[in-house]
Chain A
Amino acid sequence: VIPFPLEQIANLHRLAPEIILCVFGIAIMAVDPFIPGSNKRVMGWVGLIGTLTALASVGLVASDPGPAYSNLISADAFSVFIHVVVIVAAALAILGSLNYLDAEGAQRGEYYALVLFATAGMGILGGANELVTAFIGLEMSSISTYILAGFRRHDAKSNEASLKYFLLGSFATAFFLYGIAMEYGASGTTKIDGIQSFLIGWRAGHASPPALAILGLGLIFVGLGFKVVAAPFQIYAPDVYEGAPTPVTALLASAPKAATFAVMLRIFLVAFGTTADIWFWAVFLSAILTMFIGNLAAIVQSNVKRMLAYSSIAHAGYVLVAFAAATSVGVAAVLFYLAAYVLMKLGAFLVVTHLGQKGEKRLEIRDYAGLGLKQPALAACFSLFLLSLLGLPATGGFLGKFFAFQAALDLRDPRFVWLVVIAAVNSVIGAYYYLRVIIVMYFWEPSQDYTPTAVAPPLRVALIIAAAGTIYLGLFPGRVLFLAKTAADSLSLR
């Protein structure tokens, strides 16, 4: 007789955010059919309450960190940090979606349910201490977002985005799964700490780590690199980001990236920390390639969503710079970067959500001519997000880059000096296309045929939160940096 696994129930509260998100998601799905079409908007508020409740429950997790579910989940400070980031992102995305879906005539309950499920998946990714658990989290978030990307059912581009994302994403997760299998074959375990101690033990007797484990790690890098949009796995991103409904793009470009980077940190730095000298080159080259592809391609875009898509590719590159350092300082820098990145990227896409207007017709950069005079507040907000993405001081984006560069230089290694110089040059290249939008908004004559409507209150709240957060992180980063450091210390590197 197998005894009832009591200790799993005992630690259930450490999964509280996921449970709450899923309960709310299921509740929305169950209630949705009974809500008349004109009132579907209520489901959005329910979803928002779900995210806020989940956010509150993160506090519960933080008060009693530790393992859960036979150590499959590690509810440590690191996991808490990622939870906060992804849940806040989800809440902002929901706020940005409410009026958008009304305008598009696509107000349906399952939209919010899917956002909640995706967020739960991302939460699992943030806490996963075991590869198959990570896979489950990855699939939960991916499958939900595949559907969300195609939510404008009658739009060809949205369909294309969904299909492309689904096909290529399935490939990527298959790679990830294959990698997990190899890890299991090599080390006999799929636990992060198990692999870590296996490799430490192996290294004591061998000069090089087992080839199978490294091969598996390569496959894992492909699978996760796809999700964080690191080159050379970035091809899909511009099409998907362009085609997906803009609030979905806002979510896609921010939260899943943060969550996937989190699980990458656990796998590469904790489990495979002892082989950092081997995987370093992969990350190093990928970082350089990612930055250059993202920034150079962004220059020639005329569509705002595509431009921001390439910009998020570039930002993945900057994160990889700190990632490559493979130190505790580097992890803290990555976490801080992700927090700042999520706010500014989400903010930028939410502005585009509004500016696109009905049917997403206004997505060319030149459509925004003279916006600075027509809607000063909105244009100022957009400028703030763009300048933060650019890395102007006094914004979160600058400090993200600053800490990332600092972490990389901390090693006093010429390779990292080069990496940082390349990243620095790239951020100047980036300046060109971010500033171009500002040029159009402020320096061009206002376009006559386009007067954007007023920003809806929920979206306005979301924008204010994102903007305030961006400035807060730029001026008073101390608190968040401290949390990021605590989170980094909660990982047992090496």
Chain B
Amino acid sequence: MVLSRQADEWAVSLNRQGRMPTYVLNMGQEANSIGALMAVRPDDWFVPAFRELGGMLVRGISLKQYYLYWYGNEWASHLPIEQYHMLPISVPVGSQVLHAVGIAWAERYRGSDRIALAFMGEGASSEGDFHEACNLAGVWKAAVVIYAQNNHWSISLPWSKQSASRTLAEKAFAYGFPGVRVDGNDIFAVYAAVRLAAERARSGQGPTLIEGLTYRLGAHTTSDDPTRYRTAEEVKQWEARDPLLRLERYLVRKNLLTDDEAAKIREQSLACARASFDEVEQAPDSLLEDAFQYLYRDMPDIMADQLERRKA
């Protein structure tokens, strides 16, 4: 969690220095994807949206590889299936939930008990693909857990203008499966909810929709200025519920962590973030051939001609 936070803070600083292009922030939401990924098996499928840095670190993605994505290199998403069992970051909002449903169907067809855990933001619940995914998941009793991070803001649009539903979780009832709401800033609550939903899915009882109530403490991306649409008071209220502070206080109270150790973890995490980005910056850019040779297994002659002309 601390590494995710420090990685975000360092990335914002890099962006201000002009060294990092547009970067998506996870600040304040870390407990959601981290708690969720810790509650499933390492070979269960992980289908991210684009605000799940913590979950990706749990899955074994290095911070360097994660930075490489926002730095603008497709090699960041070179994710061998056997190693990671996860899909790459998906930008088209909500579209990835359908992939999780299909993956779950395929795993059951082959007799495997792997489940699929998909992420989305609350704004994605207004997209047609969310509806189609929930509907298919319900009809197929798919072994899928759909985790919606409700951070209250889709860029500038608040939940009250996103949906007339009181909660996001209750949308699940219309598709014939349970929807639950958890405190997404409480990593233990997230873990428990996902654990239960995963067991339900694995035992053939079908999908669960989990709404994790959380808050984006930072901007939507480094190109966004949230002071234009939300109040400082609101942010302050959520800063008091920062999942990192809550976990840190809990651990200190339980004598599992000292203030010195916490400071050291922060320091080490920042050093890791700095070193990871330095490596990314020093790595060579993608090659001309890279832009051509991964569209098809065998490059069509038409594209081979276009590549030769570019080289000339």
- Chains A and B form a bound pair: no
